Structure 1
Amino acid sequence: MTAQRLRSFCLGLAGAVEDVPFPSAPGLTVFKVESKIFALCALDEDPLTVSLKCDPEEAVRLREAYPSIVPGWHLNKRHWNTVTVGELPQRMVRELVEDSYDLVVATLPRAARLRLDRP
């Protein structure tokens, strides 16, 4: 998966927006839904990596099964994984992004979830 495909996929999720909120890290792009981050990456980085929210038990399982999935870099390592995108099948990367998005959406107030068509 290329950086452009990753960006397009993230922005294709309901209510997702792109932001560069950290002045000290101008190359760090975040993808948010309702002001809550579900993905962080440096789109011009090689290799391309993306940090994604993950269920804590699933995070450990994924790290044990895939060397290209490691604890979130500069994030709460219990809830975030950093994924080297090019080392995993594109379908798996999409599923991990969707899982991260779903975890964030699940924490939103009901009215926000309904606006996103995610009751």
Structure 2
Amino acid sequence: MKPAGVLLVAAALTLVAVPALARQASASNGERLARRHCGGCHAVRDGVSPLPDAPPFASLHDRYPPGGLAAILEEGMLAPRQPPEEGAPRGHPRMPMTQLDDDQRADLEAYLRGLDPRRPGLRRPRL
């Protein structure tokens, strides 16, 4: 094979391998995002929420079935990745939507999944 062909094959293999090196979600970054975007109303760690009817994150798992975290986040907590073709995105009546990029969304989900006691082997994230 000619040197140019070898370079082309190497470049193609690199492009295929890059997704395998995807960034690992960070629960500690997720907790920081939760404090910044949600902590004004919700207890992010332990304790009572500043807004009495806002559920503490430690008990948020009681509001969705196991594996249903993504669905509850899309019910008005996080702005959709793409706006709907018609109308406004479905939202929670008293909660502002937060716009997060894909990495931030993954971090927040990792933090919240770590608070769910129904998942064996997961411990609460530490800072």
Q: Same fold (TM over 0.5)?
A: no
Q: TM-score, normalised by structure 2?
A: 0.27
Larger Rg: 2
Higher relative contact order (CA 8 A, sep 6+): 2
Bigger helix share: 2
Normalized per residue, which structure has more strand?
Answer: 1
